[in-house]
Amino acid sequence: MNRFPHLPPLPLLLYSYLATEILAPFFASFLIMNSVFFLVKLIPFLNVVLELNIGFTDFLRLFSYLFPNMFLYSMPMAAMMGMIIAFSRLSSDTEILAFKANGISIYTILPPVIMVSMAIAGITGYFSIKLIPTGEIAMKQLLFQLAKEKIDKGIKENAFTEALGDVVVYVQSIDKTTGQWQNVWVSDMRDQTVPSITMAKSGSMVGDSRKMQVTIILENGSLNRPDGTYTQTVTFDRYQINIPLRIPSIIDGTDVTQQSISSMTMEQLQLAVTHYGRESKQGREALVHFHKRLVLPVGCFILSLLGLPLGLQARAGRSAIGIPLGLGGFILYYVLFTIGKNIAEESSHSVWVAMWFPNLIFFVFTVLLLRQTANEQPLIPKMLSNAWAALITRLIPPLMEKLRAWIHLPVKKLIKKSTLNLRQYNKTREELLGPGHLTSGTVHGNIKSMACHVPGCESYSCRHCTIEFKNVEIALQAGFTPCNTCKGILEKCSTLSANDKTLP
């Protein structure tokens, strides 16, 4: 029963149909794009995997922490492509035309488009605000854990361990239950040429993932430190050696083990802005990152809506131009976003304005395109297209004339120079070789008069003949004409040849 009789019932069947049509290409685009991003990220990631000897399960865990960053860029593009592909198919199959014939306008099909776009934007926002900082912290902890496990496995009884770099550890025995070391010997070569030797009756090792270091705790021992020709010996009850871990953690040019601003939560970013001040470098950086986590999900929503008018440009029997336009719009959006981000970080302009300006521009642009499409008008208003055409008509011909003149002048000079060189070459060749350089029995040609001469002609050995042909047919094909004398010789030869053929 309709609880609001004054309102028409919602076309839920239409909404569910459109949502299904949108989500199918969205998931396909999402899968393809993330597969490409996966392959791009995998190559620099392999260095970490091989160095730490990570198993397959830990590899999946470690790589899963990179997905939130990938989804932040792949989901908006997949949403836009899914929208364009869905409505391009509906338009090409004349289903949109059938909707209009039944009184369903573009504004009627907007609710499912908005709901799907908001759902995808909400998921993108969740990745941006929650999962990205959580994933970066988890990745740092996992890398530390894997590095510490590698060190623990490397420390064995009655063996020297070099897994700690310049610190060499020797342990006589290890308690399997507590992990305590007995009779420990440590050689520390850090920042010195002669090692410091530490010996203790017992010891252990603990890790600090926040500082990315391990600490060797020694008890009841002595420290022997060389000092020139002397050696300092210090006895102790408890002694700690802090060793920073050198983890191969550079992934795609970023050290994932360093405390970065991207691993901060939204509350921590706000505290950083308050602590450093909005105009300080650290404060502006934190504020930019705070806005970035909000700008991109909203941009995902706007780009998704933009896919509707672009997808409806497809027609039956006409190529779908929405996909290339969508790719161009996506690239333009991120170019503007990058420019705004750089302006916000490096200048004194308002961070809010610089970061949200691309979204504002694309929102206005999307609303205008939706209005044009709903009114069945071209995407670009006729007034703007006419003004653009007039501008092109006024600017392009003069530019083409200048370009043609700029290109033609060097070409004319080159042709003139080549002609002069050819004439000089022919003149020199004639002076050196004379008419006797041509082979007897061939057809001789004069390039200047384009006349050719056959054997028996008085001009056959003319000094102006500089080219020869195998026979008359080739000379004729080259554009040469026999002189009057040669024509008579050729006619005479043709008559004799015809008489020979008539003899029995």
Residue 62 parent element (H or E): helix 56-64
Tens digit of each residue's pLDDT (9 = 90 or more) over 221-242: 888 887 767 778 888 888 888 8
Q: Are 143 and 48 in contact, with CB atoms under 8 Å apart?
A: yes
Residue 499, pLDDT > 90, answer no
pLDDT reported for residue 434 = 44
Minimum mean pLDDT range among 33-42, 220-229, 405-414: 405-414
Residue type, 85: I
Find the mean pLDDT for residues 304-317.
84
pLDDT reported for residue 271 = 87
**259 — pLDDT class (breaks 50, 70, 90):** low
φ and ψ at 232, to 5 degrees? Answer: -90, 130
Residue type, 382: K
Find the mean pLDDT for residues 268-296.
86
Minimum mean pLDDT range among 224-228, 340-344, 362-366, 471-475: 224-228
Residues composing the chain: 504
Q: What percent of the chain has pLDDT over 90?
A: 16
Q: Are 195 and 189 in contact, with CB atoms under 8 Å apart?
A: yes
Find the mean pLDDT for residues 48-73.
78
Q: Are 376 and 370 in contact, with CB atoms under 8 Å apart?
A: no
Q: Provide the CB-side half-sphere exposure for 319 (13 A, CA).
A: 4
The C-alpha atoms of residue 7 and residue 16 are separated, in whole angstroms, by 20
**441 — pLDDT class (breaks 50, 70, 90):** low
CA-nearest of 385, 386, 329 to 361 is: 329
pLDDT reported for residue 408 = 62
Find the mean pLDDT for residues 8-24.
86
The C-alpha atoms of residue 388 and residue 375 are separated, in whole angstroms, by 22
Tens digit of each residue's pLDDT (9 = 90 or more) over 147-205: 777 777 767 788 887 767 778 888 888 887 787 888 888 888 877 777 888 888 888 88
Residue 164 parent element (H or E): strand 159-164
**107 — pLDDT class (breaks 50, 70, 90):** confident
Find the mean pLDDT for residues 432-446.
61
Find the mean pLDDT for residues 59-72.
83
The C-alpha atoms of residue 442 and residue 475 are separated, in whole angstroms, by 10
The CA dihedral of 401, 402, 405, 411, to the nearest 10 degrees, is: -120
Find the mean pLDDT for residues 244-264.
59
Q: Are 343 and 354 in contact, with CB atoms under 8 Å apart?
A: yes
Average pLDDT, the chain: 79
Q: Which pTM does this prediction carry?
A: 0.64
Q: Provide the CB-side half-sphere exposure for 302 (13 A, CA).
A: 24
What does 426-465 look like in DSSP terms, one character per residue?
HHHHHHHH-GGGSPTTSEEEETTTTEEE-TT-TTTT-TTE
Residue 285 parent element (H or E): helix 281-311
Find the mean pLDDT for residues 117-132.
92
Find the mean pLDDT for residues 281-296.
88
**379 — pLDDT class (breaks 50, 70, 90):** low
Residue type, 200: A
Tokens of 344: 């916000």
Residue 402: burial class (beta carbons within 10 Å; 0-12, 13-18, 19+): exposed
Minimum mean pLDDT range among 116-130, 136-150, 377-391: 377-391
Find the mean pLDDT for residues 286-297.
90
Residue 318, pLDDT > 50, answer yes
pLDDT reported for residue 417 = 57
The C-alpha atoms of residue 75 and residue 330 are separated, in whole angstroms, by 12
Q: Are 298 and 359 in contact, with CB atoms under 8 Å apart?
A: yes
Tokens of 433: 């070789």
Residue 329, pLDDT > 80, answer yes
Cα 272 from chain centroid? 32
The C-alpha atoms of residue 111 and residue 118 are separated, in whole angstroms, by 10
Q: What percent of the chain has pLDDT over 70?
A: 79
Contacts of residue 292, Cβ cutoff 8 Å, sequence gap at least 6: 128, 341, 355
Q: Provide the CB-side half-sphere exposure for 443 (13 A, CA).
A: 24
The C-alpha atoms of residue 170 and residue 159 are separated, in whole angstroms, by 6
Q: How many CB atoms lie within 10 A of CB 101?
A: 9
pLDDT reported for residue 430 = 47
Q: Is 301 helix (H, G, I), strand (E, B) or coil?
A: helix
Residue 375, pLDDT > 60, answer yes
The C-alpha atoms of residue 128 and residue 71 are separated, in whole angstroms, by 9
pLDDT reported for residue 22 = 92
